[in-house]
A and B are shown apart, each in its own frame.
Chain A
Amino acid sequence: GENVGLHLPTLSVQEGDNSIINCAYSNSASDYFIWYKQESGKGPQFIIDIRSNMDKRQGQRVTVLLNKTVKHLSLQIAATQPGDSAVYFCAEKIQGAQKLVFGQGTRLTINP
């Protein structure tokens, strides 16, 4: 399909806890995936990416997991901080295509 779906539209976590944001994608021909963070009034900010020949990739406080068998992508944020509050989008890129296909996003809220 045209849209990458998300399991949960909103997620609320305690400061210091780990956050997990999930994403389901529909096109098995997708070979590249990106997570973006979008704060109010700003454009999407690149967080981390992963290619389809990998199943895990780690960055600073973030980890992306890719399960191609069930077409599932997740973003794990360790020790969530107030500055992590934002809308998070996953996006997929179909092999040979130019466009990124985005989902509707998950709003992450951090409770003090």
Chain B
Amino acid sequence: ETGVTQSPTHLIKTRGQQVTLRCSSQSGHNTVSWYQQALGQGPQFIFQYYREEENGRGNFPPRFSGLQFPNYSSELNVNALELDDSALYLCASSSGTGGGQPQHFGDGTRLSIL
């Protein structure tokens, strides 16, 4: 069974640039959620994708957007990068959106904004 994989592992960008992060879900999982984890903090929910549509969103501005593909993989796009966007971005997959299904995380993409 293949777990959640994310790419790239590290990325350095400058303010104002755009970035795309990628996630392959665990086999058998059809739901992908993205989280932002600042240093020393717990992960914060960005949004979730199910059946290629956004299925819930946290308190993040519209410059954070995403996609889900027919094979359930997903992308997180962030436009107009700001210094505060520096964080670990985590992708989690699960088998469904209802309660009782654990979300399994990848090892994240460490994004640094200069």
Contacts and interface: CB of A to CB of B under 8 A. Distances in A.
Contacts of B4: 43
A87 to B, nearest CB: 9
A41 B37 CA distance: 12
Contacts of B97: 98
Interface stretch (B14-22, B40-48, B61-69, B74-82): B40-48
B102 A31 contact: no
Interface of B: 4, 33, 35, 40-45, 48, 55-56, 58, 90, 92, 97, 99-100, 102-108
Given A32-B99, A98-B33, A104 B42 contact: yes
A93 interface: yes
Nearest to B110: A41
Contacts of B44: 102
Contacts, number: 62
Contacts of A95: 99
Interface of A: 3-4, 31-32, 34, 36, 41-46, 49, 51, 89, 91, 93, 95, 97-105
8 contacts: A36-B105, A43-B108, A44-B90, A46-B105, A49-B102, A97-B56, A98-B48, A100-B92
A99 B100 contact: no
A3 B42 contact: yes
Given A44-B90, A104-B42, A31 B107 contact: no
Given A31-B99, A32-B100, A103 B56 contact: no
